[in-house]
Amino acid sequence: MDIVGIVVSVLVTAASLFLISKLPTGVEIDNLNKTLIAAAVFGLLNAFVRPILSAFISPAGLILSGSLVQLLLNMLIFGLAAWLVEGFRLRWGIWSALIGAIALVIINQVLYQVLGAVL
């Protein structure tokens, strides 16, 4: 991925996180700067931690469906990002991670569809 792709990815994730924090999801982010930091942390966690977590969780894929395993991974990444970034909180704990992870996937897909249509 080139630098433009990375910047677009961080900005799309930041926009999604900002929208999620404005919805009644239990996800709270203090300000726009924290949103950008959280988006960058999401990117780093997805690039470096997600493969490690996938190795540990992959046996669960034998019992659960693949999409459930992906949702669990997204929740873990969401929780880790909230734990690492000061000013990014999950008010309802695991429930906020679940709602936030689902909302992040949906909003990111919509934003990428819109960007694809525009570009």
Cα-Cα-Cα-Cα dihedral sign, residues 23, 38, 87, 56 = positive
Q: Measured at the alpha carbon of residue 86, what is the angle toward residues 89 and 105, in degrees to the nearest 5?
A: 50
Question: What is the DSSP secondary structure assignment for residue 86, as one 8-state letter?
Answer: T
Q: For residue range 52-111, list pLDDT tens digits in order.
A: 988 888 777 677 777 788 888 999 999 999 999 999 999 999 999 999 999 999 999 999
In Å, what is the CA distance from 36 to each residue of 52, 79, 119?
24, 16, 23
The pTM score is 0.89
pLDDT digits (tens, 9 = 90+) for 31-42: 999 999 999 999
